[in-house]
Structure 1
Amino acid sequence: MAQGRFQQDFAVDLPLIQAPMAGVQDAALALAVNQAGGLGSLPCAMLDLETLVSELTHLKAHTCRPVNLNFFCHQVPAYDPHQQTQWRQRLQPYFDELGITSNTLPTGASRIPFDHQVANAIEPFQPAIISFHFGLPEPSLLQRVKTWGTKILASATTVAEALWLESQGVDAIIAQGLEAGGHRGMFLSTDLNTQMGLFALLPQIVAQVQVPVIAAGGISDAQGVQAALTLGADAVQVGSAYLLCTEAKTSALHKAAIQSPRAHKTAITCIFSGKPARGIVNRAMQEIGTMPNQVPAFPYASIEMGALRSQAETLGLDDFTPLWCGQNTSGCAPISATELTLRLAGLA
């Protein structure tokens, strides 16, 4: 593939990024993508500091190529006992069904945004690339990261978000189309009506910003990669296609759903975490609804749903599992992520 400005600016061979996917991967997937010349990513938002340092140490020992470290930048609201009680009452029939006592559940947040404590842990590694979801850290923290020489990526789901990110000095913008699996990166608005499909969003962002633009959402094969590049993307980020790769940690239940006809029916829902995210429709989404009003703010909704998920999965059920997945699984294959990356680049 022709050497474009993304490869030059980010020191990679291919204009391909493996999307960071929390819960279904660790450093092994990133390393396999790097081996093919793409940019591997490590999802860090749900890692404690000890695990984060361990993963970074592993990466440093096994590659000299850059790796994208991904963090969340959400605002953590105060825990609302009244809202949480209402949510637990809504879910009580499921707790009864699975024999779980809901009044013993924790009250803390399971996802912590990027902060100075995290920065302290990763600074010794001098990360080459960091990407942010749900906006950016506060300015002094962002400036601290920039002093390391780190390149900054961030997700935009609208033109307004892309323009704001550019004004804050990011090095490239990830244009996240509505087709993408997992959490929407939206941060300037909570209105889902602002969200567009990738091939509507991408050319609009490309026309409005000067920094490189990375296309994400619904791309699963070499033809999709080429289409995005033709529409002006400098690189492409692919997530769902990697879910069946041998280096992924995708659960057996999740893999089975991806390989079944169910994968053709995905929806955006907030019930698993409190923020909109796309996944394969399951029992919880069908019965509770995808965007009910009583869901606690992110990330507190995951307290109850996490307990239901854990118990249901011991019974072999994905009824309460967030089966994150985009709208296009046609490129998913049980092969090495190295081979899949080469396929996406049209080299295999």
Structure 2
Amino acid sequence: MRNRLHGYYDEVGLGPVPQPCEPFPSFDEERLDIVLELRPKVVSFHFGLPDTKIVQQLKEAGCVLLCSATTVSEARQIEAAGVNAIIAQGYEAGGHRGTFTGDPAIDTVGTMALVPQIVDAVRVPVIAAGGIFDGRGIAASFALGASGVQIGTAFLACPEANVQPVYRAGLRAASDESTSVARCFTGRPARVVRNRFVLEMAGEEDAALEFPLQASLALPLSMAVDESRRADFLPIWAGQGVAKLREMTATALVEKLVAEAGP
């Protein structure tokens, strides 16, 4: 992978490709201590189940625990671990896949199929996520048995979202066919708006380093170029319904979603 990225590094003036490293810290004891001190009402895990000891400590601190599942098998493991609710993440969802068992390339169940299967397999509340952009998606999720919904991409067009101008422009230009799941940015499968880097690396997904080592090599590219070229290398995380984005304040969007979903 380092050899493959040499050309990009030369192009943007970064010099030699460095040795891969962990670019950001994982959830460790130090961060657990901070969470236990702050005692947030909700703690959500997306990259798999935490250790049983961590689950117990957080629950004793009064935190409600959520964890993402992309299959029924994962949902059952989450319930058995004592987590309070399960986020059923369909393949349509933007950003990183929450898969933690099996093969992410095979575990590609969509939200409409995943939610009712998880609802029938567990007894804890299920939160639908992936491809939900308006009240129709919310109503459909409730009809499938979900107790709630988790919406991400729809809020990226809100002025409160802290996204770069080039990121916002990429969202505006996206169509219903603009996203795909790629590993080239971080090493973990994630749904993004396709850009030059995604397209040129598409045939070399198997060469991507494990998460988060790939990120230490790929993410510096977007930070090394000026605004006019950043779109070539910036990961624009977005779900399949990105073309349905509506630009309004977060408050207005929430009110509209509630009204659209109906009673």
TM-score (norm 2): 0.94
Deviation at 1:138, TM superposition (A): 1.2
Deviation at 1:279, TM superposition (A): 0.4
Residues 1:172 and 2:85 are matched in the alignment = yes
Instruction: Provide the rounded CA distance (Å) in 2 between the counterparts of 1:119 and 1:338.
Output: 31
Match of 2:3 in 1: 89
Deviation at 1:299, TM superposition (A): 0.3
Instruction: Provide the rounded CA distance (Å) in 1 between the counterparts of 2:169 and 2:157.
Output: 10
Instruction: Provide the rounded CA distance (Å) in 2 between the counterparts of 1:263 and 1:128.
Output: 36
Residues 1:109 and 2:32 are matched in the alignment = no
The answer on whether the counterparts of 1:266 and 1:326 sit within 8 Å (CA) in structure 2 is yes
1:144-155 superposed matches below 5 A: 144-155=57-68
Deviation at 1:347, TM superposition (A): 6.6
Residues 1:195 and 2:130 are matched in the alignment = no
- Distance 1:330-1:306 versus aligned 2 partners, 3 A rule: closer
**Structure 2, unaligned runs of 5 or more:** none
The answer on whether the counterparts of 2:74 and 2:100 sit within 8 Å (CA) in structure 1 is yes
Instruction: Provide the rounded CA distance (Å) in 2 between the counterparts of 1:88 and 1:153.
Output: 36
- Distance 1:346-1:189 versus aligned 2 partners, 3 A rule: same
Deviation at 1:291, TM superposition (A): 5.7
Tell me the SS of whatever aligns to 1:154.
strand
Tell me the SS of whatever aligns to 2:14.
coil
Instruction: Provide the rounded CA distance (Å) in 1 between the counterparts of 2:170 and 2:227.
Output: 16
Match of 2:41 in 1: 128
The answer on whether the counterparts of 2:174 and 2:243 sit within 8 Å (CA) in structure 1 is no
Instruction: Provide the rounded CA distance (Å) in 2 between the counterparts of 1:215 and 1:267.
Output: 20
Which region of structure 1 is more displaced relative to structure 2, 264-273 or 281-290? 281-290
**What is the number of equivalent residue pairs in this alignment?**
261
Instruction: Provide the rounded CA distance (Å) in 1 between the counterparts of 2:112 and 2:227.
Output: 40
Tell me the SS of whatever aligns to 2:43.
strand
Match of 1:255 in 2: 168
Post-superposition Cα deviations, 1:247-274, rounded to whole Å, max 9, x if no partner, equal 1011111111111145631000001000
Deviation at 1:204, TM superposition (A): 0.5
Q: Report sequence identity in percent.
A: 38
Instruction: Provide the rounded CA distance (Å) in 1 between the counterparts of 2:203 and 2:148.
Output: 32
- Paired residue type of 2:164: S
Match of 1:339 among 239, 245, 252: 252
Deviation at 1:309, TM superposition (A): 1.2
Instruction: Provide the rounded CA distance (Å) in 2 between the counterparts of 1:156 and 1:306.
Output: 26
Instruction: Provide the rounded CA distance (Å) in 2 between the counterparts of 1:297 and 1:314.
Output: 29
Instruction: Provide the rounded CA distance (Å) in 2 between the counterparts of 1:254 and 1:216.
Output: 22
1:1-348 superposed matches below 5 A: 87-103=1-17, 105=18, 107-262=20-175, 264-289=177-202, 292-346=205-259
Deviation at 1:197, TM superposition (A): 0.6
Tell me the SS of whatever aligns to 1:210.
coil
The root-mean-square deviation of aligned C-alpha atoms, in Å, is 1.7
The answer on whether the counterparts of 1:241 and 1:330 sit within 8 Å (CA) in structure 2 is no
Instruction: Provide the rounded CA distance (Å) in 2 between the counterparts of 1:332 and 1:271.
Output: 25
Instruction: Provide the rounded CA distance (Å) in 2 between the counterparts of 1:319 and 1:288.
Output: 12
The answer on whether the counterparts of 1:181 and 1:325 sit within 8 Å (CA) in structure 2 is yes
